[in-house]
Amino acid sequence: MCALLQVTILLTGKADNSVMDLLTTLAEMMGILYAKEDTRCPKQILRLANLSFKHALAMRAILTPPKTMTIRKLYGIYYHSAVDHASVICRLVCLSSINAELFERFFDRIVDITRKTWSKHADDLVPNAFLHIMGEDITAEENTVSIQEREITKLAKKLPARANTTVSKDLLTKKARLWQAQLEVIGDFQLPGPGVWWHWKDDGSVEFHYGPSEATHHPEGPRVFHFRSSSVKAIQTSLETAWKQCSEKLEELPLYQLRSKSGQLVYNKLHHNDDSPSAAEECQPAETDPSTKPQGILHSSYYSNQ
């Protein structure tokens, strides 16, 4: 984590925009993945979902095809978990609480305590560790975990300022199918309609409201869940239901085109006010271009099957 932040800070203003998109989206995603429970809110979930989408686009643009590793390894379990599952799981539970690395760091703390204080008697091993951990927590004494967290926080403050995300009209029109797949992931944020979590801009782009000054919750919804009263399956079902409801009021969605599951174009906002070649081209099926398919970028299964 520290290495990622340091590289991102050093390359800010020096590397290409595409490279910076790859680094900054991953750095922001890591910030949310390691965030504490009291920061979990709808704004954070929406930001994570859109960051995952932007990171997937950057991975596709910069690292595909990979030259030093296989496709399967590049788009493996870590990528798949971050892009496909993180925003859904975050609706249910704080992601840092299920992060295996956090437990590894805590184990390092126990190893450090044991190395310095253990009397070498087997019966004292566990009580000694618990005693010193409780003592450190009560006295707020620094440990390896708190030192690492402080260093990460210090580096994170040097990252470019976080602001609302703008999705360009170019992406909305040329990657219409891909954008539709992303909207299905955040269908619950589309139900309130424009002006709550997003709005149209004068240039035809879409701006999402989750910058530092934006509200963390809206009375129109959605709300966060808790693992004691819900489940991943229930959340996935609610997202499917939300998208079906959104599909019934297409004029209130932040998109230009919508296709049915069979690939048929059922809604086209472009032909009313845009006769550009890109609009006409997108109206035609383009099955030979993987980047126009939702699974082409968002899902690692596409790459692993190549």
- Domain residue limits, the chain: 1-97+163-268, 99-157
At a CB cut-off of 8 Å and minimum separation 6, what does 167 contact?
50, 179, 205, 206, 207, 208, 254
Tens digit of each residue's pLDDT (9 = 90 or more) over 187-224: 999 999 999 999 999 999 999 999 989 999 999 999 99
Tens digit of each residue's pLDDT (9 = 90 or more) over 94-110: 888 887 666 666 777 78
- Residue type (1 letter), 181: A
pLDDT higher than threshold 90 for residue 48? yes
Looking at residue 290, its pLDDT comes to 40
Does residue 132 contact residue 114 with C-beta atoms inside 8 Å? Answer: no
> Is 275 exposed, middle or buried (CB count within 10 Å of its CB: 0-12, 13-18, 19+)?
exposed
* Phi and psi at residue 187, to the nearest 5°: -60, -35
**Which has more confidence, 194 or 30?**
194
Cα 24 to Cα 165: distance, rounded to the nearest angstrom: 13
Looking at residue 133, its pLDDT comes to 79
Looking at residue 197, its pLDDT comes to 97
**pLDDT band at residue 145 under the 50/70/90 scheme:** low
In this structure, are strands 206-208 and 257-259 parallel, antiparallel, or unpaired?
unpaired
* Pair of tokens at residue 114: 């044991």
Tens digit of each residue's pLDDT (9 = 90 or more) over 170-186: 999 999 999 999 999 99
Specify the DSSP element, H or E, that contains 286: none
Convert 231-262 to b/e letters by CB count within 10 Å (16 or more is b).
eeeebeebbeebbeebbeeeeebbbbbbbeee
Highest mean pLDDT, choosing among 72-81, 99-108, 265-274: 72-81
Looking at residue 44, its pLDDT comes to 94
pLDDT higher than threshold 60 for residue 281? no
In this structure, are strands 165-167 and 198-200 parallel, antiparallel, or unpaired?
unpaired
Does residue 86 contact residue 77 with C-beta atoms inside 8 Å? Answer: no
DSSP of 68-133 = SS-HHHHTSHHHHIIIIIHHHHHTTS-GGGG-HHHHHHHHHHHHHHHHHH--S-GGGHHHHHHHHH
**pLDDT band at residue 296 under the 50/70/90 scheme:** very low
**Which has more confidence, 303 or 161?**
161
Tens digit of each residue's pLDDT (9 = 90 or more) over 16-26: 888 988 888 98
pLDDT higher than threshold 90 for residue 305? no
Looking at residue 10, its pLDDT comes to 81
Cα 232 to Cα 235: distance, rounded to the nearest angstrom: 5
Could you identify the residue written with the tokens 């390092």? 108
Mean pLDDT of the chain: 81
C-beta contacts of 137-140 below 8 A and 24+ residues apart: none
What is the CA 289 to chain-centroid distance, rounded?
25
Mean per-residue pLDDT, 275-284 = 42
**Nearest CA to 256 among 265, 248, 264, 246?**
265
**pLDDT band at residue 297 under the 50/70/90 scheme:** very low
Looking at residue 292, its pLDDT comes to 37
**pLDDT band at residue 84 under the 50/70/90 scheme:** confident
**Nearest CA to 165 among 120, 198, 127, 116?**
198
Looking at residue 101, its pLDDT comes to 64
pLDDT higher than threshold 60 for residue 294? no
pLDDT higher than threshold 80 for residue 240? yes
Cα 304 to Cα 306: distance, rounded to the nearest angstrom: 6
Looking at residue 140, its pLDDT comes to 61
